[in-house]
Amino acid sequence: MAEHELAGVWRRIIRGDGKSWVVFAHATCVVLPAPGPADDLAQQAVDILREYGPLFAGSAAGDFGTLTLEPGPGWVVYGHHNDVLTYVGPDEITGGTDLEVGLHGRAKRDRDGRELNVVHVEDKRVA
């Protein structure tokens, strides 16, 4: 999915006009609800995802939950950090069960947490 498409997906998903957020290459989004005026949003998101993105066997990093987007299409997979979310589109999986969606989203988050490739920064701070 292209950067502008990912940004559009997350604009549709995120509730609250005042939240800044950062999207990574594999559709993981880190929401930054109250960054400081001088904060580097991309760096702050990288720091969070570096810690909370990668999977580690036997840790809370393996836990996940799924939310079906209404209206759709797609799902959001969440994990052990409330502000780290991953989008899974309907074209990415075949079945659409919570387990399939969750495992796929968790794998995408793991990849983003290791690669740390920022593709979009949405800065909603008031100047």
Task: Tell me the per-residue pLDDT of 56-77, one tens digit each, with 9 for 90 and over.
Answer: 777 777 789 999 999 889 999 9
Task: Please give the pLDDT value at position 33.
Answer: 81
Query: In the structure encoding, which two tokens stand for residue 9, read together?
Result: 């997906």
Task: Please give the pLDDT value at position 2.
Answer: 81
Q: Under DSSP, is residue 122 helix (H, G, I), strand (E, B) or coil?
A: strand
**What amino acid is encoded at 123 in this protein?**
D
Over the chain, what is the mean pLDDT?
Answer: 92
Question: pLDDT tier at 1 (50, 70, 90 boundaries)?
Answer: confident
Q: Check pLDDT > 80 for residue 102.
A: yes
If 0-12 CB within 10 Å is exposed, 13-18 middle and 19+ buried, where does residue 96 land? middle
Alpha helices in the chain (DSSP H): 3-13, 41-52, 98-115
Query: In the structure encoding, which two tokens stand for residue 40, read together?
Result: 């580097």
Task: Please give the pLDDT value at position 127.
Answer: 66
Burial letters for 17-47: b for 16+ Cβ neighbours within 10 Å, e otherwise? eebbbbbbbbbbbbbbeebeeeeebbebbbe
Q: Check pLDDT > 90 for residue 110.
A: yes
What's the alpha-carbon Rg for the chain, to the nearest Å?
Answer: 14
Q: Around Cβ 57, how many Cβ atoms within 10 Å?
A: 6
Average pLDDT over residues 43-64: 88
